[in-house]
Amino acid sequence: MTRHDPASVPVPVVPSRVGDSAQCVALGQIIDRVADKWAVMTIGNLSTGSLRFNELMRRIPGVSHRMLTLTLRGLQRDGIVDRTAFATVPPRVDYALTELGKSLIEPLGALARWAESKQDQVLAARANYDTRMNP
Amino acid sequence: MTRHDPASVPVPVVPSRVGDSAQCVALGQIIDRVADKWAVMTIGNLSTGSLRFNELMRRIPGVSHRMLTLTLRGLQRDGIVDRTAFATVPPRVDYALTELGKSLIEPLGALARWAESKQDQVLAARANYDTRMNP
DNA sequence: CTGCATCCAAGGTGATACTG
DNA sequence: CAGTATCACCTTGGATGCAG
């Protein structure tokens, strides 16, 4: 029966101040927003420069009008995306990453690269698990 | 394939082969699984060694019995977490990261560190946005 | 073109109780 | 202790129509 001594264990990946659950909750909220599928794809596409709404829509396969709107609102609210509207007709709105948003490119890119490079292993494990549980 | 000139556009964060939407969808699925709030916290806590079910439950603030079960199932299915059951009484089950799971520590840690270090900026932006939209 | 509101179906979530 | 099942809830997401 391994009795873990809190002082002996290395720093966990998630810097969990276990005693401060509010801290963890806040972290969870941010991770939820930032690691959302649509958010990842949106940020990924904006990482190379600003784009208009429909350009984003065309580049993100499967995203609905509504979800892209909501995602952009959330990212804008969190200071990750900057929205610039031009009072032209037809209207034109540019979305771009803020400095805060740009600082997300690296960690999010690492995650995306992981997903890409390990995709085969994950899918294989998934298929294997499924056949073993449902032969 | 994209008509963008590769030389003029840096590699996007999400390596989007825009023409191959199936690729993006698969990436999205994996990111959805792996970047889930509970999954991040679970992996984070397992990054320092194996833990039993209730140990995980105690360490992850706010997670319900059910969600931890489902999260662990999903991670096990994807080959990220290894489950070892001991036929003792009372039963004992250890959860540990597989090699695949360990390879997630770095990218996920980067994301968690980002969330921690930028937390203040995000919360400030959020509060600012809210007061401007709802004075 | 962009964005918001509404409706509606579908799936996720928590509480609870029960089995091995 | 670990896991499953059921249920009631409620958030999520897509489709659509309309407004700026």
* Contact: A118, B103; criterion CB under 8 Å: yes
CB atoms within 10 A of CB A83: 14
CA-to-CA distance for B88 and B91, rounded, in angstroms? Answer: 5
Per-residue model confidence (pLDDT) at position B82 = 97
Q: What is the pLDDT of residues B25-48, one digit of tens each?
A: 667 778 888 888 899 889 999 999
Write out chain A's pLDDT in tens, 135 residues. Answer: 444 444 445 566 666 544 445 566 677 788 888 888 899 889 999 999 999 999 999 989 889 999 999 999 999 999 999 999 999 989 999 999 999 999 999 998 888 889 889 989 998 999 999 988 876
Closest CA to B18 of A63, A31, A83, A125: A63
Closest CA to A72 of A94, A90, A91: A94
Residue B111 has pLDDT above 80, yes or no: yes
CB atoms within 10 A of CB A81: 23
Per-residue model confidence (pLDDT) at position B12 = 65
Of all nucleotides in the shown strands, which has a C1' nearest the CA of B83?
D2
The kind and range of the H/E element at B126 are helix B105-133
Of A67-76, B66-75, B110-119, the range with the lowest mean pLDDT is B110-119
Strand A51-52 to B92-97 pairing: unpaired
Per-residue model confidence (pLDDT) at position A30 = 84
The average confidence (pLDDT) of chain B is 84
Closest CA to A69 of A36, A91, A39: A39
Domain boundaries, chain B: 20-133
What is the third-level CATH fold of A20-133? Answer: Arc Repressor Mutant, subunit A (1.10.10)
- Nearest protein residue to nucleotide C13 (CA to C1' distance) is B67
Residues of A in contact with B104 (CB under 8 A): 114
Closest CA to B27 of B7, B13, B38: B13
> What average pLDDT does the segment B71-100 reach?
95
User: How far are the Cα atoms of A63, A67, B68, B129 from residue A70, in angstroms, in the given order?
Assistant: 11, 5, 28, 15
Residue B96 has pLDDT above 70, yes or no: yes
